[in-house]
């Protein structure tokens, strides 16, 4: 008997080769019917024997295309229509969107082979791609994902490309960015001249998938210092693009897991350890033992790197912490004089997207910045969200998140909301996501901090607003990632978060539920003199830590610090903080290894660089009814040499966390930017394991504020009034 069945497949299923796969399966099973895209995802209607349909369904679930991610398959019986063939039908438009947008993906192996095959018609074509690779999120204006809805809409396919586009047997069947030398974008300059410029120490702006990159020779000291000067980025480490994994392994120690991540189709920047034969220019990543490395993701990069075969610095084109630039107009307006030449083309970047940053911690990935290759990948939630919700994140490393049904979509890294252009980028991203997902929020969630630009934006909207405490949101993000049932005991350690009691939190132990939390323990607070200003002054932080922990030190009586002394004694403009980030700053200052602020997180990286795993002991600490005193730790640091102090300091923090959570019979969650410190995280996880405890650490989203929007989204507490 002939049957007909309809399948609605949702998830990341458009632009990833799903329809041709369904077509192929249907052909093989001798089924008739049709397949098409709509806003729900992919719809397949198949007609044939019950047995063939069952077999089709089984293979549909098993053989999904490489870049796809299925969140749900629903099926219903239909009346047979006596169809005689199987077709790929026109996409349907709809009002609500449940499908997900795939991230951009690095050039696949087949396309790489064609790119360098002199007999292929796309030999050295700088925009080669196929259904398994290439731009997606960065070229999509709206869904469904079809060529007219992308920035490829201005290019008319030539006959040969059209043939491939229409052929279900082709790797480019319905590959929206399809193009060739005859019909695609063109570069403004020859790649030969760009390579000559790079080799002679020039700084080149190159249009990459998600924005412009500033590039220069990573072995040329003068080029690096010129770039740093022109970009006003004196210290922060720069990422390096390599021609091959072998050339990375010449400079760095790369573990198997790191190798796999670097070679993956996400091709993120991966932080690895510099090797014994490290030979890049000193200024690339000064004073730390790490280097951010990556391989090419776009064909333009592949062609350049093959030609010059030398590592090049590749950093987002922006001034200090402003958003990445995506168009020539802004590039010339903002960065005039920063670059010597620009390599660009006429395919527009619709959605900006930085390079992602990742590291391997305890053998598995930990994202630090989710952007190209990752965003806007969706997360399936264990529990449904009440009504369409938008969460707007914190201030630093801002991301936004949309929540509907059981899906959370977290945006690409937006950045620190500290400049006008960053705030504009934040608003633009919200608008873009609303448009892409045809999404109208009914509720907004923001940080408890009243003065964050994200909070202010939320309060200006005519919608109910809920504010979530920062460290609670950190814990909720990990709970959402793992679908953990509440409650958990969360170690929430970071730099800065508004406590709601006037203090700056950041060394918290929270018993966290979806609708609230209890503070189980915290670090004994010390004061930041001058509030926010103190954050970039490690001497001030150390002064206050010594004073408030009651430790005698010449710094306290130095005549140069008389003003600080007066301020702290009179408690003028001094905000208490329990921030572990600031404890790190004070520790590095008192060890003598970070005397002035260089970049965010530098104190941790410098302490890590001195860590010696043969030193396993730690300094004592006291926990008075949930208030943890760091006094003996600072006294120890002042007594010991930096090398010993660094190791004992990391061990002490791990000890504090392990000893404090061990009495709770609850799942342990580690969250907050401090856990980017892979040494601390690894030491702590080992200690917890010895206590018979497994820790949940962020694996799909960053431990830092990049995950705050996700945590805010799953909060179920009551709305707050403004
Ligand atoms: Zn490809
Ligand atoms: Zn063509
Ligand atoms: Fe935070």
**Burial class of residue 337 (count of CB atoms within 10 Å of its CB; 0-12, 13-18, 19+):** exposed
**How many percent of the chain have pLDDT more than 70?**
98
Say if residues 324 and 351 touch (Cβ distance below 8 Å). no
Say if residues 254 and 262 touch (Cβ distance below 8 Å). yes
What are the pLDDT digits (tens) for 349-359? 999 999 999 99
Q: How far is CA 178 from CA 37, 167, 300, in A?
A: 18, 13, 15
What are the pLDDT digits (tens) for 536-584? 899 999 999 999 999 999 999 999 999 999 999 999 989 999 999 999 9
* DSSP assignment string, 81-105: ----SEEEPPPPP-SS----PPPPB
Contacts for 332 with CB less than 8 Å, ≥ 6 apart: none
Neighbours of ion ligand 2 (CB under 5 A): 158, 161, 180, 182-183
Q: How far apart are CA 552 and CA 408, in angstroms?
A: 51
Q: How far apart are CA 389 and CA 397, in angstroms?
A: 20
**Ligand 3 center to residue 245 CA distance, Å?**
34
698 alpha carbon, closest ligand: 3
Say if residues 280 and 219 touch (Cβ distance below 8 Å). yes
Instruction: Give the per-residue pLDDT at 299.
Output: 97
Residue 531 has pLDDT above 80, yes or no: no
Helix (H) or strand (E) segment spanning residue 74: strand 69-78
**Ligand 3 center to residue 714 CA distance, Å?**
17
Q: How far apart are CA 595 and CA 384, in angstroms?
A: 49
Strands (E), 296-449: 312-316, 341-343, 357-361, 364-369, 378-380, 389-391, 401-404, 407-410, 443-447
Residue 377 has pLDDT above 80, yes or no: no
Q: How far apart are CA 64 and CA 592, in angstroms?
A: 55
The CATH number of the domain covering residues in 2-88: 3.30.70.100
Instruction: Give the per-residue pLDDT at 722.
Output: 43
Instruction: Give the per-residue pLDDT at 67.
Output: 79
Determine the 3-state secondary structure of 516 from DSSP. strand
Query: Domain coordinates of the chain in residue numbers?
Result: 2-88
Match 């670090």 to its residue by tokens: 523
**Ligand 3 center to residue 505 CA distance, Å?**
9
162 alpha carbon, closest ligand: 2
**Ligand 2 center to residue 296 CA distance, Å?**
24
Say if residues 602 and 235 touch (Cβ distance below 8 Å). yes
Instruction: Give the per-residue pLDDT at 537.
Output: 93
Q: How far apart are CA 492 and CA 510, in angstroms?
A: 7
**How many percent of the chain have pLDDT more than 90?**
84
**Ligand 1 center to residue 299 CA distance, Å?**
10
Q: How far apart are CA 552 and CA 222, in angstroms?
A: 45
User: Strand 695-696 to strand 668-671: parallel, antiparallel, or no bridges (unpaired)?
Assistant: parallel
Residue 100 has pLDDT above 80, yes or no: no
Other CB atoms within a 10 A radius of the CB of residue 179 amount to 24
Say if residues 645 and 588 touch (Cβ distance below 8 Å). no
Cis omega (within 30 of 0) for bond into 72: no
Stretch 264-271: mean pLDDT: 96
* DSSP assignment string, 321-334: TSPPP-SHHHHHHH
**Ligand 3 center to residue 579 CA distance, Å?**
10
**Ligand 3 center to residue 319 CA distance, Å?**
24
What are the pLDDT digits (tens) for 174-227? 899 999 999 999 999 999 999 999 999 999 999 999 999 999 999 999 999 999
Stretch 325-346: mean pLDDT: 95
Q: How far apart are CA 403 and CA 38, in angstroms?
A: 20
- For residue 88, give both structure tokens: 């790929």
Say if residues 696 and 478 touch (Cβ distance below 8 Å). yes
- For residue 25, give both structure tokens: 């399966």
**Ligand 1 center to residue 21 CA distance, Å?**
16
**Ligand 2 center to residue 124 CA distance, Å?**
14
Predicted confidence band of residue 145 (pLDDT cuts 50, 70, 90): confident
- For residue 505, give both structure tokens: 């939190």
């Amino acid at each position: 008997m002939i049957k007909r069945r309809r399948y609605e497949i949702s998830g990341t299923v458009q632009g990833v080769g799903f329809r041709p796969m369904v077509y192929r399966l249907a052909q093989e099973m001798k089924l008739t019917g049709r397949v098409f895209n709509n806003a729900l995802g992919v719809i397949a209607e198949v007609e044939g024997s019950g047995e063939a349909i069952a077999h089709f369904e089984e293979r549909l679930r098993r053989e999904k295309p490489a870049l796809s991610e299925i969140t749900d398959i629903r099926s219903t019986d239909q009346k047979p229509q006596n169809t005689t063939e199987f077709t790929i039908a026109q996409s349907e438009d709809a009002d609500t969107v449940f499908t997900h947008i795939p991230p951009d993906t690095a050039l696949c192996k087949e396309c790489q082979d064609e790119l360098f095959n002199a007999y292929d018609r796309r030999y050295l074509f700088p925009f080669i791609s196929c259904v398994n690779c290439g731009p997606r999120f960065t070229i999509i204006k709206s869904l469904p994902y079809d060529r007219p809805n992308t920035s490829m809409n201005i290019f008319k396919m030539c006959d040969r490309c059209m043939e491939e586009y229409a052929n279900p047997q082709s790797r480019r069947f319905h590959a929206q960015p399809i193009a060739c030398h005859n019909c695609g974008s063109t570069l403004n300059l020859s790649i030969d001249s760009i390579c000559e410029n790079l080799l002679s120490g020039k700084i080149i702006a190159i249009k990459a998938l998600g924005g412009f990159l500033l590039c220069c020779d990573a072995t040329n000291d003068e080029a690096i210092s010129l770039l740093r000067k022109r970009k006003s980025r004196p210290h922060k480490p720069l990422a390096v693009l390599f021609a091959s994994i072998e050339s990375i392994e010449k400079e760095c120690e790369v573990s198997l897991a790191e190798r796999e991540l670097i070679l993956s189709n996400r091709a993120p920047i991966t932080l690895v350890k510099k090797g014994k034969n490290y030979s890049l220019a000193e200024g690339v990543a000064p004073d730390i033992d790490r280097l951010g490395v990556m391989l090419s993701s776009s064909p333009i990069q592949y062609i350049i790197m093959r030609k010059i075969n030398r590592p090049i610095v590749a950093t987002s084109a922006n001034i200090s912490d402003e958003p990445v630039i995506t168009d020539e107009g802004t590039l010339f307006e903002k960065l005039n004089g920063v670059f010597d030449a620009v390599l660009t083309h006429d395919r527009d970047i619709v959605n900006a997207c930085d390079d992602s940053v990742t590291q391997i911690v305890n053998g598995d990935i930990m994202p630090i910045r989710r952007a190209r290759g990752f965003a806007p990948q969706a997360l399936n939630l264990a529990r449904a969200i009440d009504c369409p919700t938008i969460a707007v994140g914190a201030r630093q490393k801002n991301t936004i998140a949309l929540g509907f049904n059981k899906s959370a979509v977290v945006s690409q890294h937006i950045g620190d909301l500290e400049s006008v252009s960053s705030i504009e980028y934040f608003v633009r991203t919200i608008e873009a996501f609303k448009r892409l997902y045809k999404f109208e929020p009914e509720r907004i969630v923001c940080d408890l901090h009243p003065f964050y630009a994200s909070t202010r934006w939320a309060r200006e909207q005519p919608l109910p607003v809920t504010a979530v405490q920062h460290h609670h949101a950190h814990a909720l993000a990990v709970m959402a990632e793992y679908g953990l049932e509440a409650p958990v005991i969360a170690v929430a350690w970071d730099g800065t978060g508004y406590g709601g009691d006037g203090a700056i939190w950041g060394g918290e132990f929270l018993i966290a539920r979806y609708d609230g939390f209890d503070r189980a323990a915290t670090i004994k607070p010390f004061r930041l003199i001058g509030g926010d200003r103190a954050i970039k002054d490690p001497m001030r932080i150390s002064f206050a830590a010594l004073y408030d922990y009651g430790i005698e030190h010449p710094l306290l009586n130095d005549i140069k610090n008389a003003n600080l002394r007066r301020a702290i004694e009179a408690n003028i403009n001094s905000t208490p903080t329990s921030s572990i980030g600031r404890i790190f700053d004070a520790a590095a200052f008192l060890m003598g290894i970070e005397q002035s602020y260089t970049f965010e997180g530098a104190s941790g990286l410098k302490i890590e660089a001195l860590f010696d795993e043969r030193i396993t002991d730690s300094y004592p600490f006291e926990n008075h009814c949930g208030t943890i005193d760091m006094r003996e730790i600072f006294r120890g640091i002042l007594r010991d040499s930096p090398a010993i102090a660094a190791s004992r300091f990391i061990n002490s923090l791990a000890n504090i966390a392990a000893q404090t959570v061990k009495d709770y019979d609850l799942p342990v969650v580690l969250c907050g930017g401090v856990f980017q410190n892979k040494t601390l995280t690894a030491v702590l996880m080992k200690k917890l394991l010895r206590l018979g405890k497994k820790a949940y650490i962020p694996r799909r989203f960053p431990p830092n504020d990049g995950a705050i929007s996700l945590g805010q989204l799953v909060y179920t507490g009551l709305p707050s009034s403004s």
